[in-house]
Amino acid sequence: SQQGEEDPQALSIQEGENATMNCSYKTSINNLQWYRQNSGRGLVHLILIRSNEREKHSGRLRVTLDTSKKSSSLLITASRAADTASYFCATDTENRDDKIIFGKGTRLHILP
């Protein structure tokens, strides 16, 4: 069964604006991670948030987690052209095994 699902699938905003991406998941989790992927490139780890945390910051990134709604959001403030990429959430599984399950991602395009 699918786990993380991002919303929206694609997002275009003007440089300098804030970008918000959402992720919903189905089963209980231990943690949730956000990754960035530039076109055709590898995955860059952004933030890990644990199930007992509600919010986490890293530079211009803010991640929230609402376990009651089984959802997370990634906010990028003051967006830059270099933020253009696909953003994925990934969750561990109910079984607490080693794998993480990725969503389909949000394609973010920052317009100059």
Partner 1 sequence: EPEVTQTPSHQVTQMGQEVILRCVPISNHLYFYWYRQILGQKVEFLVSFYNNEISEKSEIFDDQFSVERPDGSNFTLKIRSTKLEDSAMYFCASSESGSDNEQFFGPGTRLTVL
**Could you give the string, one character per residue 32-61, with x where binding to partner 1 holds by CB under 8 A and - elsewhere?**
-x-x----xxxxxx--x-------------
Which residue type does 23 have?
A: C
Of the candidate residues 87, 103, 106, 110, the single one contacting partner 1 (CB under 8 A): 103
> Would you say 17 or 94 has its CB closer to partner 1?
94
Does 97 contact partner 1 by CB under 8 A?
yes
Place of tokens 């960035």: 36
Of all helices (H) and strands (E), which one includes residue 97? none
Concatenated DSSP letters of 48-94: EEETT-SEEEETTEEEEEETTTTEEEEEE-S--GGG-EEEEEEE--T
- Measure the CA–CA gap between 24 and 10, rounded to whole angstroms: 16
Q: Any contact of residue 88 with partner 1 (CB under 8 A)?
A: yes
Residue number with CB closer to partner 1 (45 or 54): 45
Binding site for partner 1 (CB under 8 A): 30-31, 33, 35, 40-45, 48, 88, 90, 92-93, 96-105
